[in-house]
Amino acid sequence: MASHVVVIDSTARRATIKTTPGKNLSEVLEEACTKLGVNAAQYGLKHNNKPVDLSRTIRLSGLSSGAKLELVQLSKSAGVVSIALQLPESEARGVPNARLTDKFPSSTTLWLVLRKFEAGVAGGGTPSTRNFTARGVPSASQGSSGGGRLYYEQPVIQVMNRELASFTDLQKSLAQLGLNSGTALLRLSFRTTETPLEEAMAQIQSYFDSVEGTAAQPPRQQETSASSEPQTGSAETQPEWNEERPSQLPPQAQEETSTSLPSQPETSSSSTSRPVSVFRPPSSSTPSAALMSHNEADYTPTVEHAQVHQKLLQQNSRNVRLPTEAELAAQAQEEAAKWAAVKEVEIKVRFPDQSAVSARFEQGDTAADLYNFVRECLEEQYRTEPFMLRNPGIRGKNEIIPDDSAKKLITDLQLKGRVLVTFQWDDHKASLQARSVKSVLKVELREQAQEVKVQDLPTVDVEADEEPGIKVNLGTKDTSEEPGDGKKRLPKWLKGLGKK
């Protein structure tokens, strides 16, 4: 059994690490990277050109004494790990087998795994009221006569034969624990500390501030409560969405306004720097568009669709020469001219409670202008909280829009037409009060909010006998109507499908 191992990097530098039978190989990697002055999160170990499982101990690894391990750099793309979180009995109500399961990148920290499970983002995506990271229990030092002071109850995670209890240990990523792929079971428990709850929250906030290198923020103010659930007192005091929008216009004027512009959303610029349309959260869990009826015949392919598809297959099968530098420059100029012709873009920002605000931005507006507009729509107490805006995009990349005054919304970020972006609090920097609040829009915008109306598209019923049909000429891309009594001609490639 190994009493020490030798770790060698790509430059032939050596680091001798003393080991014990119960020592994890992930700890060996951390000590070696510390001696060699590299980041342990970017490296792994190999033995005889085979990757070493960092989640195992020295006893189970099969390494002999004095074994030589190679320090290799890991791939930048993180692997996917299936995590099962075993809940204690106090938190296991309504959870099948008392386990929450989901998949995470190997670069995710244990603290972030807990945060996502308690917020309901992971483990099924349903809204959750669990509290894993901000628990407080009353002190019994004053006896039964008083409630005592709230003390922090820290989460403890057991992985394999390791126990991770301190806040610093919970900042380790799954990859640092040797979990780069496959499945893993995390056992969760809680341990009462001697640290008051408000001091523990302030220490957690200061840790994230020091890691991110940002200016120190004021410590979070926690309301004293004997409950261990997240603090949501601020959300209860905020006004709810009004069922009836207040209006100062007489009923006749309201009728005239509604009949003149039935499909245009109302805009207001009194409380923001630009005209804005505000939409209420949906009253039903089913989207309005899903309730609309559709015609099944619209999804039935025709002969013309098959011909066009065959034409595209033939074009893609032919070899095409690469464009020259002049052609590439012409394409770049054409692309720049296309984006320069876009004058404005309409951006709708969706908030966590599913409410939304919409405004128009011009050619010269930047990403910083978009962030400033969103801050104007928030309550005064939440404008200084850090947040991010994500653009789902056509292919669902969900990219973060940077808060940069040098990035133009249209020319640089390539936003045009109508774009939907989602509002999200920064999990590392935003306060617990901001992340747990229900609605963040200011009262002036809530009062002028309106329902999202989905209008039915007009449908035209066409009988099969009256439709003359259209013939598509793939060579010249022309269309011509055939006589109504003429027979439909099938292409040769389609006729051969019926012969055997």
Which residue blocks in 223-302 are alpha helix, DSSP H?
Answer: 233-237, 251-260
276: exposed, middle or buried (C-beta count within 10 Å: 0-12, 13-18, 19+)? buried
Nearest CA among 170, 237, 229 for reference residue 203: 170
Q: Pull the structure tokens for residue 430.
A: 């935003």
Task: Walk along the chain (500 residues) and give the pLDDT tens digit of each residue.
Answer: 558 889 988 888 888 989 888 888 888 888 888 888 888 878 888 888 888 888 788 888 888 888 899 988 877 777 788 888 888 888 877 788 888 888 888 888 888 888 888 887 777 655 567 788 888 888 765 554 445 678 888 899 988 778 888 888 888 888 878 887 888 889 999 988 888 888 888 888 887 777 665 433 444 434 333 334 444 444 344 444 544 444 444 444 444 444 434 444 555 544 567 888 888 887 766 666 667 777 788 888 899 999 999 999 998 888 888 889 999 999 999 999 998 899 999 999 988 888 889 999 998 899 999 999 999 999 888 888 899 898 887 666 778 898 888 889 988 888 888 999 999 888 888 888 888 887 888 888 888 888 877 666 665 555 544 444 445 555 544 444 445 455 556 666 666 555 55
Phi, psi of 237 (to 5 degrees): -85, -10
Nearest CA among 191, 183, 159 for reference residue 172: 159
151: exposed, middle or buried (C-beta count within 10 Å: 0-12, 13-18, 19+)? buried
Q: What is the pLDDT of residue 328?
A: 92
In terms of pTM, does the model score above 0.85?
no
Beta bridge partners of 353: none
Residues 6+ positions from 324 with CB-CB distance below 8 Å = none
CA 267 – CA 287 distance, rounded (Å): 23
Of the chain, the end-to-end C-alpha distance in Å amounts to: 70
Contact 356, 279 (CB under 8 A): yes
Q: Pull the structure tokens for residue 337.
A: 């001219």
Q: What letter would DSSP give residue 378?
A: B
Domains of the chain from N-terminus onward: 4-73 (3.10.20.90), 80-140+147-233 (3.10.20.90), 277-283+341-447 (3.10.20.90)
DSSP β-ladder status, 135-138 and 99-105: unpaired
Nearest CA among 362, 419, 360 for reference residue 392: 419
Q: What letter would DSSP give residue 275?
A: -
Q: What is the pLDDT of residue 489?
A: 65
